[in-house]
Amino acid sequence: MHILIALLIGAIAGYLANFIMNNDSGILSNIIIGVIGGIVGDLIFSIFGISFGGLIGNIVISVVGACLLLFIVNKLIK
């Protein structure tokens, strides 16, 4: 059950990050971007001692991490 929730949060976060960063990807890449973004966001927020709880908090952390991930990838490609 936890894996399904993580994939759902990853899909939502990946979609929102692609929308914010003006990127165009499919659903599978949205899930991958969102899940990796969740890991990156959790690492960044834990370094600064910030924590969010609940579903909305996890989505916010994942979106911020996914946006940062997309920003770095876009800079490396260009």
Q: What DSSP state is assigned to residue 50?
A: -
Question: Domain coordinates of the chain in residue numbers?
Answer: 2-77
Per-residue buried b or exposed e for 37-68, using 16+ beta carbons within 10 Å of the residue's own CB: bbebbbeebeeeeeeeeeeeebbbbbbbbbbb
Tens digits of per-residue pLDDT, 37-54?
999 999 999 999 988 888
What is the residue-level pLDDT of the chain in tens, covering all 78 positions?
A: 688 888 899 899 999 999 999 888 888 988 899 999 999 999 999 999 988 888 899 999 999 999 999 999 989 987
Which two three-digit tokens encode residue 71? Answer: 């920003």
Give pLDDT, residue 25.
Answer: 81
Give pLDDT, residue 6.
Answer: 86
